[in-house]
Amino acid sequence: MGLSWKEGVLTILLGAAAASGLTTLILFLVEATSILLPADTKFGIVFDAGSSHTSLFVYKWPADKENNTGVVSQALACQAEGPGISSYTSDPALAGESLRGCLEEALALIPEAQHRETPTFLGATAGMRLLSQKNSSQAERIFAEVARVLSQSPVDFRGASLLAGLDEGAFAWITINYVLGSLLTYTFSGEWARPPEATLVGALDMGGASTQMSFVPGGPILDASTKASFILYGSSYSVYSHSYLCFGRDEVLNRLLARLVQVRPARAGRHSGLARHPCYHSGYRATVPLAPLFESPCVHTSMPPGAAQNLTVEGAGNPGACVSAIRELFNFSSCEGQADCTFDGVYQPLMQGRFYAFSNFYYTFHFLNLTSGQTLDTVNATVWEFCQRPWKLVEVSYPEHASWLRDYCASGLYILTLLLEGYGFSEETWPSIEFRRQAGGTDIGWTLGYMLNLTNMIPAKAPAMKQAENYGVWAAGIVLVGLTLGAILGAAAVQLLWPRD
C-alpha cells in the first residue's frame, strides 16, 4: 500500500531536518575540534642558583594563549648535583659543569625542533650576593663560566644575573598569585575581572642564605626601598618586599654555632676545643672544622688566635636555651616603640591577608609534620618535644634524613622566633600562614614570576576573550540547531495531524 500524502510530507520534512541537522553538527564539531585540541606548546627554562644548591625548572604554555591567564604550568623540576654555584670559588669552571645534568634532562623533555626558541635564564640569589660582597672578581668568574656553558647549549640563553633581594621576594609573590588565579579571573558574565584584594596572598621564602617577606599591605608603603610596583592585567600593585641577608637557614645555623662556640686554646695532647650546643639533641657528638665557619661574611667575628682547628660539639637538648641563643641573632631593640618595624631596624607595614610559607619554611615543618594547619600551641609543643628527644632515638626514627637531622630542632625554633617575634605574627594571625611546597601543581618560588616578567607574558592589559567567545558561539550554534530541528519536527507533526477539509 502506498504512502498517504501526509506521510509523504512528513517523510520529506524529516529528511530535510536530518540533513540540515547533520550538516550543521559536522560544522560545529569541526569548530569544536579547533577549540578543544591542544595547541602547540612553548617552553621556558629557569635556573635557580641558590646558596646551597641549584635547581632547574621547565615551564610550558600553549603557544596561542601566551597572553591569557593561568596557562603556564610546570613541566620539570631538577636539582643539580653538588652545592650552589657560589661554592665553586676555587674552580669556577665546575660551576658551569654542574648545570649540565639538569640541562640535559630539560632538553630531553623539550622537542628538539623547539630548543633554539626556548628562552633560558639563570638567576643567582643570596649565596652569590654574599660572594659578590666578599670577592666580586670570584663572583664574576663564576658567572662567566655559567654563561659559557649555557651559551654553548642549543637554547635561547638570555643571560645569567644576580637577583636583588627585593626582586626575589616580589617575583615569588607574582608566582603564587598567578598560579592561584588571584590576579585575574573569568566571570560567569563572560568578562575578565580583578578578584577582590582579599584573595591575594603574601609570600614567605627562606633559602640557605636569606629569607624574604612580600605582601600587599592595607595602606601605603612608606619606605621606597621596600616597594615593588607592577601593572598586571591592567591593575596596579604595590608590593612590600624585603630580603634579610644572613637570615637564611644555613647562615643562621652557622651564626648560631659561631656565637655559641666558647673556643678553648688547644691543650697539650688535645686537638680540638669543646662546646655544648643547646639546639643539638642530647647524646649528639661530632667534630667539625672551625675555619669554614668563620669564612662566611655573615659571621662577623674572626677565629680567635690560638684556637684549635677543630671543634668537638656536644648536644644539650635544651630548647629553652636554644631559643635564647637564637634571639641573640636578632636586634629587636632597634625597633622598640615602632609598630612598623621588625628587627635590625627594618621597616615593615601592617600585615594583612593569608601567607604561603615555602622553601625551608615548608621543608622544616613538613619534617616535623606541622603543615596541616595545626594551632600555634601544637606547633610549639611539637618542636619542643622533638628538641628534647635523645639523639639515639632521633637517629633510629629518621634514618632517611641523616644529612639535616641534627639541625631540625634549631631550624624549627628559629622559624617560630622569626615569624612570631620578628615578623609579628600572633596566636590570632598564625592560622593565616599555610606551609606549602606547591600551589596548583607548581613549585612555589621566584622562578615562574621571573620568567613571566622577562618574557612579558603577563600583559599590562586584560587579555581578549577570543577563545571564550568561540565557546559562546559554539554553544549558541548548538542551541540554534536544536531549536531549528524542534520547529521542523513540530511543523511536520501539525501537518500530519491536521484534518483535511
Domain check: are 13 and 129 in the same one?
no
Question: Is 300 inside a domain boundary?
Answer: yes
CA distance 86 to 119: 24
- Kindly tell me the burial class for residue 289, based on how many C-beta atoms sit within 10 Å of its own C-beta (0-12, 13-18, 19 or more): exposed
Domain check: are 427 and 287 in the same one?
yes
- Grid cell digits, residue 277: 650546643
Domain check: are 288 and 139 in the same one?
no
- Kindly tell me the burial class for residue 488, based on how many C-beta atoms sit within 10 Å of its own C-beta (0-12, 13-18, 19 or more): middle
pLDDT confidence of 269, banded at 50, 70, 90? Answer: very low
Domain check: are 291 and 393 in the same one?
yes
CA distance 448 to 427: 32
Question: Is 447 inside a domain boundary?
Answer: no
pLDDT confidence of 34, banded at 50, 70, 90? Answer: very low
Of the ranges 58-67, 113-122, 462-471, the best mean pLDDT one: 113-122
R_g (Cα) of the chain, nearest Å: 31
What average pLDDT does this structure show over 320-325? Answer: 97
pLDDT at residue number 306: 67
**What does 40-78 look like in DSSP terms, one character per residue?**
PEEEEEEEEE-SS-EEEEEEEEEGGGTTSSS--EEEEEE
pLDDT at residue number 393: 97
Question: Is 241 inside a domain boundary?
Answer: no
CA distance 21 to 35: 21
pLDDT above 90 covers what percent of the chain? 64
Q: Which of 163, 185, 211 is the last residue of a domain?
A: 163
Report the candidate in 73, 72, 70, 155 with the shortest Cα–Cα distance to residue 121: 155
CATH of the domain at 154: 3.30.420.40
Secondary structure, 3-state, 126-143: HHHHHHHHHCHHHHHHHH
Helix axes 100-109, 136-152, angle to 10 degrees: 30
Domain check: are 415 and 487 in the same one?
no
Question: Is 457 inside a domain boundary?
Answer: no
pLDDT at residue number 396: 95
Which of the pair, 366 or 399, is modelled with greater confidence? 366
Question: Is 214 inside a domain boundary?
Answer: no
Question: Is 25 inside a domain boundary?
Answer: yes
Residue at 125: amino acid letter = T
Dihedral-angle region of residue 375 (phi above 0 means left; psi in -120 to 50 means alpha; beta otherwise): beta
pLDDT at residue number 83: 96
| pLDDT at 326 exceeding the cut of 90 | yes
All residues at 6 or more sequence positions from 469 whose CB lies less than 8 Å from its CB, including other chains: none
- Kindly tell me the burial class for residue 90, based on how many C-beta atoms sit within 10 Å of its own C-beta (0-12, 13-18, 19 or more): exposed
User: DSSP letter at 189?
Assistant: T
Mark whether 104 is an active-site residue.
Answer: no
**What does 257-297 look like in DSSP terms, one character per residue?**
HHHH----BPPTT--EEEEEETTSPTT-EEEEESHHHHHST
Helix axes 126-134, 136-152, angle to 10 degrees: 130
Which of the pair, 339 or 376, is modelled with greater confidence? 376
pLDDT above 70 covers what percent of the chain? 80
Which of the pair, 12 or 204, is modelled with greater confidence? 204
CA distance 462 to 45: 25
| pLDDT at 314 exceeding the cut of 70 | yes
Domain check: are 75 and 125 in the same one?
yes
Question: Is 87 inside a domain boundary?
Answer: yes
Domain check: are 265 and 124 in the same one?
no
What average pLDDT does this structure show over 359-375? Answer: 97
pLDDT confidence of 491, banded at 50, 70, 90? Answer: low
pLDDT confidence of 487, banded at 50, 70, 90? Answer: low
pLDDT confidence of 417, banded at 50, 70, 90? Answer: very high
Q: Mind listing the pLDDT tens digit for each residue in 183-226?
A: 887 778 877 788 888 899 999 999 999 999 999 999 999 999 99
Question: Is 385 inside a domain boundary?
Answer: yes
Domain check: are 11 and 134 in the same one?
no
| pLDDT at 4 exceeding the cut of 90 | no
pLDDT at residue number 454: 86
Residue 263 belongs to what domain range? 256-328+359-435
Domain check: are 17 and 77 in the same one?
no
3-state secondary structure of 335: helix
Query: Residues 233, 69: contact at Cβ < 8 Å?
Result: yes
Q: Cα-flanking dihedrals φ and ψ of residue 174, to 5°?
A: -60, -45
| Number of domain units in the chain | 3
CATH of the domain at 316: 3.30.420.150
- Grid cell digits, residue 221: 608603603
Domain check: are 491 and 384 in the same one?
no
User: DSSP letter at 347?
Assistant: B
Domain check: are 298 and 419 in the same one?
yes
pTM of the model: 0.83
Report the candidate in 213, 209, 249, 206 with the shortest Cα–Cα distance to residue 228: 213
Domain check: are 24 and 159 in the same one?
no
Active-site option among 7, 31, 97, 168? 168
- Kindly tell me the burial class for residue 134, based on how many C-beta atoms sit within 10 Å of its own C-beta (0-12, 13-18, 19 or more): middle
Q: Which of 417, 435, 453 is the last residue of a domain?
A: 435
pLDDT at residue number 24: 53
